[in-house]
Amino acid sequence: EREMECRLISAELASFRPAWLRFFDAAPKGCACVLAIDPVPAPTVRQMAKNLAGKDFEAQAVIGRRNGEYFLLDYRLSRGHDVGWTVATALELARQWRVLRIIVEETSQSAHLPGFLRAEMARRGAYHAVVPTPVSANKFIRITTALNGPASQGKLWCSARPAEFVEQFGAYGPTYT
């Protein structure tokens, strides 16, 4: 399923061109990696009653950079709000990809997440820098600002495996809020 704010639009109105996205067969070696977490707030009673229909997805993505090229190395989605899943998945991805830091999009609803990550790292004895990043602009602006430059220059790579990302990349546009 698509993320809550994603809707079909014409190719002419899309913020990104599908041809900009490049694909790799095997993950490149020697990337400097970060894990970015886009958490979601806890579901409301109404959302729970609707079995989370219309609820946004939490996304975790490992981004690698090497020689000015950016690689989407791994991508996980979860519908709803499960802090246990968030922490376990983040630390699994951090270990697997040897990330330099974990970047957490910080909203009032997710302010507790860096603390949960640090507590679990202390319990495991495996540490990664956790960088809470305040949300300063709307989601559409943050996404297009981050991806437009590298993607339009042919420097954004991913495997075909994260089908949700590939599909949303070519359909993302200014009608998203």
Query: If pLDDT is split at 50, 70 and 90, which confidence band does 123 have?
Result: very high
Reference 176, options 133, 141, 136; nearest CA is 141
Query: If pLDDT is split at 50, 70 and 90, which confidence band does 55 have?
Result: low
pLDDT at 56: 73
pLDDT at 78: 86
Mean pLDDT, residues 110-138:
91
Q: How far apart are CA 122 and CA 116, in angstroms?
A: 10
Mean pLDDT, residues 134-143:
81
pLDDT at 160: 74
For the chain, list the strands marked E by DSSP. Answer: 22-23, 32-38, 57-66, 69-79, 101-106, 129-134, 156-158
Helices 83-97 and 113-124, axial angle in degrees (round to 10): 60
Mean pLDDT, residues 14-37:
92
